[in-house]
Amino acid sequence: MFSTMHNQKRAEELIEDAKELIASIDETFINARERLKKKISEIDTTRLRLIKQTLAKFRERFETIENENPIELTPVSERALAEQLQSLYEKADIEPVEIKEVRRGKGGAFFASLIAVVVMAAAALIIGAVGTGQPLAPETFMDISRLEKILTWLSGGAFDPQMGSPLFGAVGLGIAVIAVWMITWSIMMGKAARRNLAIAEEVHAEAEKYHQKKAHYTDAIGRLLEELDALENILYTCDIYMQEFNAILQRIIHTEGRDFEAYKNSSKDIVKRAAECEESLVPLLNIAIVTSEGTPSKQLSMAISNGERLVLALIEERPIPAPEELVSVSEEPTMPEYEKPEEEKESLKIETTDASQKIV
């Protein structure tokens, strides 16, 4: 009985813990996803303003300058970064765990015990009837005198007619009924408790697996948010500098004309620096921010590194550094935090913006 109670209590505790595991990670993931949606909306606003307004105005003015050293301007993708998050949301859309409630099994134990008692009592009365030579008919068990003979026989009259007693027979039969009831009840409750414990352990294991997977993508969102914060700050700073270059370029064209060769050396230097800044900025815009596995891409980390070097050069008025080559598809890292089973693994790819075409 103690083992039965322990198994049932443990099963109920495991089910409650499984519910808490699922509810807590679901809430954490939803909050992280909402923060990501807000952040990606903000950064897309900054990015598209930079592309459609600031860079578009620069390119329009730059391309009117004649006789300048040829500088190829790389096309910029206007596709919103938010579209790239679909892979993350799809990967994180994990099939929920079915929580099976563990019933105590009292109903089943009651009916099983009742059947066992009825069968045992009926068997005892039938044996007593046969032993006393009574006919096996309903009226035999409804007649008081006949029942007394049967109970007397059951209480010992089968061995010595003088030692039997209807009262002792009734008491003995009652004790037997209670014993059968308790034994059957204990067996059925023990089976139910063991079954419930097995179910609870299975559910809890599935809940832990679900929690681990969901936590992996929640952590990925957290890392992505940190990197997007850094990228947004870089783009905002570069937008300010490009707006300044636009104003200076407008002034140069207005005061010195469109012939690059006729410009003062200082004006030539500014035009070249503005073009170099624009071209160093483009790779920060043409990136994949997540892998097909829904994790932050190495392209994003490289873009941030390049962007920080660019911003530092602008602030300190140093030569614009050439951006480091962004990581290729084959160099994308695998997922260290959560290793998928073989049947779930997929090739790791990232979306890249086609920037192979150039315009002059």
Q: What are the CA-CA distances from residue 176 to residues 1, 151, 167, 327 (Å)?
A: 19, 13, 14, 81
* pLDDT confidence of residue 57: 93
Rounded to 5°, angle at Cα 4 from 171 and 100:
125
* pLDDT confidence of residue 121: 72
* pLDDT confidence of residue 195: 79
- Write out pLDDT tens, residues 120-162: 677 777 776 676 666 666 666 666 776 666 667 666 655 556 5
* pLDDT confidence of residue 12: 80
So where are the chain's domains? 38-101+219-344
Q: Are 291 and 350 in contact (CB under 8 A)?
A: yes
* pLDDT confidence of residue 343: 42
106 Cβ contact partners less than 8 Å away, ≥ 6 residues apart: 189
Write the DSSP symbol of residue 63: T
* Single-letter amino acid code for the residue at 334: T
Low-confidence ranges of the chain (pLDDT < 50): 327-360
Beta strands in the chain (DSSP E): none
Q: Are 84 and 291 in contact (CB under 8 A)?
A: no
Query: Whole-angstrom Cα distance, residue 104 to residue 110?
Result: 11
Residue 167 class from Cβ within 10 Å (0-12 exposed, 13-18 middle, 19+ buried)? exposed
* pLDDT confidence of residue 331: 40
* pLDDT confidence of residue 341: 42
pTM of the predicted model over 0.85: no
* Single-letter amino acid code for the residue at 278: E
Residue (of 62, 48, 57, 54) closest to 275 by Cα position: 62
* pLDDT confidence of residue 348: 32
* pLDDT confidence of residue 104: 56
272 Cβ contact partners less than 8 Å away, ≥ 6 residues apart: 69, 71
Query: Whole-angstrom Cα distance, residue 147 to residue 130?
Result: 12
- List of long-range contacts for 5-11, beta carbons under 8 Å, 24+ apart: 5/193, 7/190, 7/193, 7/194, 7/196, 7/197, 8/102, 8/104, 8/189, 8/192, 8/193, 8/196, 8/197, 10/197, 10/200, 11/102, 11/193, 11/196, 11/197, 11/199, 11/200
* pLDDT confidence of residue 340: 44
* Single-letter amino acid code for the residue at 156: G
* pLDDT confidence of residue 248: 95
* pLDDT confidence of residue 339: 42
Q: Are 90 and 298 in contact (CB under 8 A)?
A: no
